[in-house]
Amino acid sequence: MQKRVAVIGGGIIGATAAFYLSYLDQSQSLSVTLFDDDLGQATKAASGIISPWLSKRRNKRWYALAKQGAAFYPKLIADAKLGPNVYQQTGTIVTRKQPDDLESLYQEAMIKLQHTPAMQDVELLSAREVGRRLPFLTNPPAGIFVKGGAKIDGRCFIEELLKQAQKQRLIVRRQRVFFDKSGQIRTSMGLEKFDTIIVATGAWMKGTLKPLNYLVKIRPQKGQLIDLAVNPLRYRSRLPVLMPEGSSDIIPFSQRKLVVGATHENDGGFDLKATAKAQTLLLKNAQVFDNRLKAGQIMQTRVGTRAYTDDFAPFFGRLPSNPNILLGGGLGSSGLTTGPIIGYLLAKAIVDEQWGHWEAFTRPLSNYII
């Protein structure tokens, strides 16, 4: 008899978990259903960067998880047969405003490179050398090039990953579902019982677990980014990403589209309306480096809702009082890096029926769920 598994939430954790629950060799014994209503999902609104190694964050668990997540991507891309429209390893250029800070960061990068194969290589670049790598910039900054850095299109990632999973065994149901007090799931077909459930509903997790009398210490944050149409004559294919200190990331995602973002709006809550204020801010941030960009080039503004914890760290694990329920969330702005590895670890635990020791990556769930 097949074991019934439900994944609630089709963002980056849920989609990755659902894929591996359908893909891993031992998963033939599972019947897997993913529930998702697509509302406000941060992943589908995002184009982002996989390059955690030179982050200013000093949370050791977060760094261990992010480092593992970045190294995991080539396996995931190969397993799911995802193409360059989803993921491109083009390198990233990280900047610092002060030359001394840039030099210190370079020394740190060289030390990390010795025991971080995923970084591949590191170069200290002058402003002129950055301009050669990103020829569309009119005011290039000096920076550090990390060869192993990559960029990813969140919407394409989710859609292609679930498409591959559905070719295996995954069932996708586009609806919002709720727990009843007994731990069953209330769906459009009535109450349904599953043997194991993964909850990965992002900023909405507080509401998801409320019927089970759990309080989730999580808050929503609104994020906006803009897509600009650009002149393909100024853009080569596979350009690196620019990560300026204290400003918005600049992601040349194709020869015709430039992505700038994203905002971090703590008072935005679950509001999904694009705002002129955010458009203006993001455009001005990009114009510092390319003064030819104009408001008329903005094709669209994408809006999503991130989930943040009090310590800005992701969490995942198994609910001690409801061991058939697993959680993953609180990704914040590093979701594209940390989400897939969390989804994989949760799926692997279910398939192998061996619950991992994840203390190196996350604090106990009791720090986030009470």
pLDDT in tens, 188-213: 889 999 999 999 999 999 999 999 99
Residue 237 shares a structural domain with residue 321: no
C-alpha–C-alpha distance, residues 185 and 193, integer Å: 6
* Per-residue pLDDT band at 86 (split at 50, 70, 90): very high
Q: Is residue 287 part of a domain?
A: yes
The model carries a pTM of 0.95
Helix spans in 232-330 (H): 276-287
Torsion sign, CA atoms 95, 13, 305, 309? negative
**Final residue of a structural domain among 258, 274, 308:** 308
- Residue 308's DSSP bridge partners are 219
Tokens of 180: 């009843």
DSSP string computed for 179-232: E-TTS-EEETTEEE--SEEEE--GGGHHHHHGGGT--B--EEEEEEEEEEE--G
Residue 181 shares a structural domain with residue 239: no
pLDDT in tens, 18-73: 999 999 877 678 999 999 987 766 666 777 899 999 998 889 999 999 999 999 99
- Residue 59's DSSP bridge partners are none
Task: State the pLDDT at residue 40.
Answer: 60
Q: Is residue 77 part of a domain?
A: no
Which CATH number fits the domain that encloses residue 236? 3.30.9.10
Q: Is residue 202 part of a domain?
A: yes
Which CATH number fits the domain that encloses residue 338? 3.50.50.60
Domain extent, residue 361, equals 3-44+155-218+311-367
C-alpha–C-alpha distance, residues 329 and 306, integer Å: 10
Task: Give the helix/strand (H/E) hosting 341.
Answer: helix 335-352
**Contact of 14 with 199, CB cutoff 8 Å:** no
Tokens of 347: 């799926």
Nearest by Cα to 86 from 37, 25, 20, 153: 153
Tokens of 38: 């697509």
Q: Is residue 71 part of a domain?
A: no
What's the number of domains the chain is made of? Answer: 2
Residue 169 shares a structural domain with residue 120: no
Q: Is residue 321 part of a domain?
A: yes
Calculate mean pLDDT across residues 341-359: 91
Residue 133 shares a structural domain with residue 235: yes
Nearest by Cα to 49 from 97, 91, 109, 106: 91
In angstroms and rounded to an integer, the radius of gyration of the C-alpha atoms of the chain is 21
pLDDT in tens, 142-180: 999 999 999 999 989 999 999 999 998 899 999 999 999
Q: Is residue 117 part of a domain?
A: yes
Amino acid identity of residue 144, one-letter, is: I
Q: Is residue 54 part of a domain?
A: no
Q: Is residue 49 part of a domain?
A: no
Residue 206 shares a structural domain with residue 339: yes
